[in-house]
């Protein structure tokens, strides 16, 4: 009986992993806020149907004692889909940048566009999390090991700065780069990077790590989140070799997770 119970638990674990991964792929790959699979009315209707399905499942599970432990996960998928969909369709930078007479394809334009986009997504995630009854600590917005975090961040920052020119030249089609040319871009680059990092950490790891951990464990959650996060980037057009780029994104996602 004990062996049968262990086997059943393993099957349940695999089933949860597959279901949660499918939900993540639906939200972040099919209805991506960068490169969605569908377009036009199909995309809009699909997002609405999927979001309502996640919300309905969350509310039903919350009222059902047997499945109550799953309701926060369903609500997290609803929150993520709502955030990225509003970002995708209500991007205010479409009007803000022309009003400021700043072209999008400039360091300033890219930074403002990313800051506006991230701020909208972050606001939706924060508000819906509070509406659900959770506190912001559930998103890992709480005091942690500050010394460790700053140490890792500083080391990563130094490595990235030291390798910026060769990596950009090799992987991102950078041409005629020099620090003299790049230094004026640095304020805009930092705005872009910090906004994007906060947004992605909140959408992927903040929303899901704590809610999925009781069902899968830390390592499996990290892999589960890294897969749609990596595939989200398959449509980029700024890499010289997309497969080499994807090969870098996946282990980096695991490392930061």
CA trace torsion 215, 254, 239, 234 (10° rounding): -20
Which residue ranges make up each domain of the chain?
Answer: 16-142+195-256
Residue 49's pLDDT is 98
Supply the pLDDT for residue 69: 92
Q: What is the pTM of this model?
A: 0.91
CB atoms within 10 A of CB 185: 15
Per residue of the chain (257 residues), give pLDDT as tens. 445 578 888 899 999 999 999 999 999 999 999 899 999 999 999 999 999 999 999 999 999 999 999 999 999 999 999 999 999 998 788 888 888 889 998 999 999 999 999 999 999 999 999 999 999 999 999 888 889 988 988 998 899 889 989 988 888 888 888 888 888 999 999 999 999 999 999 999 999 999 999 999 999 999 999 999 999 988 887 877 788 888 889 999 998 88
pLDDT at 237: 79
Contact between 117 and 91 under an 8 Å Cβ cutoff? The reply is yes
Tell me the C-alpha distance between 187 and 63, whole Å.
49
Closest among 39, 69, 74, 68 to 55, alpha carbons compared:
74
Residues 6+ apart with CB under 8 A from 252: none
Signed CA dihedral, 207, 210, 215, 221: sign only: positive
- How many C-alpha atoms does 101 have within 13 Å on its Cβ side? 0
Alpha helix (H) ranges present in the chain?
A: 2-25, 40-63, 71-89, 93-100, 107-131, 146-171, 179-182, 186-200, 207-216, 218-231, 242-256
* Residue 164, C-beta contacts closer than 8 angstroms, at least 6 positions apart: 182
Query: What pLDDT is stored for residue 156 in this prediction?
Result: 87
| Whole-angstrom distance, CA of residue 202 vs CA of residue 204 | 6
């Amino acid at each position: 009986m004990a062996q049968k119970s262990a086997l059943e638990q393993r099957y349940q674990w695999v089933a949860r992993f597959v279901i949660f991964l499918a939900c993540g792929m639906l939200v972040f790959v099919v209805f991506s806020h960068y490169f969605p699979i569908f377009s036009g009315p199909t995309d809009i209707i699909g997002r609405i149907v999927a979001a309502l399905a996640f919300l309905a499942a969350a509310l039903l599970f919350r009222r059902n004692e047997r499945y109550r432990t799953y309701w926060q996960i369903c609500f997290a998928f609803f929150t993520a889909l709502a955030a990225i969909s509003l970002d995708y369709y209500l991007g205010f930078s479409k009007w803000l940048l022309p009003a400021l007479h700043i072209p999008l394809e400039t360091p300033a334009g890219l930074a403002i566009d990313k800051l506006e986009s991230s701020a909208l997504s972050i606001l939706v995630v924060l508000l819906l999390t509070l509406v659900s009854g959770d506190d912001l600590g559930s998103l890992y917005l709480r005091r942690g090991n500050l010394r460790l975090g700053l140490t890792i961040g500083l080391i990563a920052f130094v490595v990235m700065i030291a390798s910026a020119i060769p990596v950009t030249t090799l992987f991102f089609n950078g041409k005629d780069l020099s620090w003299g040319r790049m230094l004026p871009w640095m304020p805009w680059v930092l705005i872009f990077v910090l906004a994007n990092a906060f947004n992605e950490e909140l959408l992927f790891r903040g929303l899901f790590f704590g809610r999925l951990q009781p069902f899968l464990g830390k390592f499996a959650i990290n892999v589960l989140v890294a897969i749609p996060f990596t595939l989200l980037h398959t449509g980029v057009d700024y890499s010289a070799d997309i497969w080499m780029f994807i090969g870098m994104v996946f282990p980096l996602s695991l490392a930061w997770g």
